[in-house]
Chain A
């Protein structure tokens, strides 16, 4: 196990609702990255947080937002849920930003009906 934890493990929502996913980074890691993985695809980068600031963003709309807290844990918020948001959401932590190995948590599987 990597020491990265995520909650909840599974979630069912309906279109238009909002969701908050949580991630605790591995001890000693100050950087958290979020990925979306659709079935049969590789993970797609959503954004990265480093020392409480967004440090890079992928091709996701503004209704995907995040936070990082002083203890380096992080949240991913998705507003106005769409059916296509159904996916596995992965959080990964790394020791620093900039090319370090990322270690993944178990993920949150979100189903939007």
Chain B
């Protein structure tokens, strides 16, 4: 089966860098996704990793290590609007269902 673990909450200040970790167990790996979800809104796609290494996209970067079952999302130059829940997800073996972690709630303060 699949299992996703990520911290429940994190806090940081404006302008700082924060790293949100995610560990996963899956019987068949089809890629790892990060989504951002503001309160009361839908998840918004941030990044997709299927090969080991770092993917950079503006202020956000995502890293994957398939051998360790580990990923992180790195947010640089934090802004107040980055306060949100960050969801880590992997596909099930059939490639149909995204299996989500419970999400990490990030609070950015000034």
Residues of A within 8 A of B33 (CB): 101-102
Task: Mark interface residues in A84-113 (1 if CB within 8 Å of B CB, else 0).
Answer: 000000101000011101111111000000
B97 & A58 in contact (Cβ 8 Å cutoff)? yes
Instruction: Name the contact of A40 in the complex, choosing from B35, B95, B102 (C-beta under 8 A).
Output: B102
How many residues in B have their beta carbons less than 8 Å from beta carbons of A? 25
Known: A45-B98, A106-B41. A101 touches B48 (CB 8 A): yes
| Interface residue tally for chain A (C-beta within 8 Å) | 25
Tell me the smallest distance from the CB of A112 to a CB of chain B, in Å.
18
**B9 CB → nearest A CB, Å:** 11
Q: Does A33 contact B (CB under 8 A)?
A: yes
Q: In chain B between 93 and 110, which residues have their CB closer than 8 angstroms to a CB of chain A?
A: 94-103
B91 nearest CB neighbor, chain A only:
A99
In the assembled complex, A30 has its CB within 8 A of some CB on chain B: no
CA of A109 to CA of B42, assembled, Å: 11
Minimal beta-carbon separation of B72 from chain A (angstroms): 17
Cβ of B44 within 8 Å of any chain A Cβ, yes or no, is: yes
Q: How far is the CA of A30 from the CA of B54 in the complex (A)?
A: 30
A residues at B contact (CB < 8 Å): 2, 33, 35, 40-45, 48, 55-56, 58, 90, 92, 97-99, 101-107
